[in-house]
Amino acid sequence: MAKTGRPREFDRDEALKQAMYLFWNYGYESTSLSQLKVAMGDISSPSFYAAFGSKENLFQEASQYYIDTFATVTEALWDNTLSAKDAIGLTLQQSLDMQYDPSHPLGCMVALSTVLAPSAEHQHVIEILRQSRQKTRQGFIQALQRGIDSGEIPKDIDSIGLATIFDSFLTGISSLARDHVKKTDIEYGISKLLKLLE
């Protein structure tokens, strides 16, 4: 009697990454369970629920995966070995490069969650991404304040107001990426924004 081949093992990490790409591209509510199961290796419903429990749990895990990987482009804001200007400039450039990378959905999953936001019933689902945006805003404030304290940035600068400008620009890159605005045009905008620190 011929031996049957071993069943293909379920690659949980790869399935999670594929789910993240779908949520990143379409948002929580517009991504269906059927789309997810197909993208995650055409897995069965029992396998899906055994691995992740629910669509909401999967979204939470996918969001954390994004924060731990792609969203690390903003970590330069907390690097005290960099000048404030370099920290902010590096953050904006790294984020731009990531958001325009064609190997995954364009834009930023954290920023796009405001555009692809779920209904009031599911707002709690994207809380983890709201907290990530808040952390980035605080990072801009901290970097600017560090620059003011060191004398690198003029003391009459309003760190909170200026941080809001940088944060708004960063968040807006997602819409520009989805509209296929030239990357060089955004880089020009970054260079002009950094002039505000002089």
Instruction: Give the separation between CA 108 and CA 100, rounded to whole angstroms.
Output: 9
**77: exposed, middle or buried (C-beta count within 10 Å: 0-12, 13-18, 19+)?**
buried
Indicate the domain borders of the chain. Answer: 12-65, 71-197
Residue range 71-197 forms a domain whose CATH class is mainly alpha
The residue type of 7 is P
User: 12-65 with 71-197: one CATH topology?
Assistant: no
Instruction: Give the separation between CA 82 and CA 52, rounded to whole angstroms.
Output: 40
Task: Read off the pTM.
Answer: 0.90
In tens digits, the chain (198 residues) has pLDDT values of 444 444 446 789 999 999 999 999 999 999 999 999 999 999 999 999 999 999 999 999 999 999 999 999 999 999 999 999 999 999 999 999 999 999 999 999 999 998 887 788 888 999 999 999 999 999 999 999 999 999 999 999 999 999 999 999 999 999 999 999 999 999 999 999 999 998
Instruction: Give the separation between CA 92 and CA 190, rounded to whole angstroms.
Output: 7
CATH topology (fold) of 12-65: Arc Repressor Mutant, subunit A (1.10.10)
Count the neighbouring beta carbons within 10 Å of the beta carbon of residue 193: 17
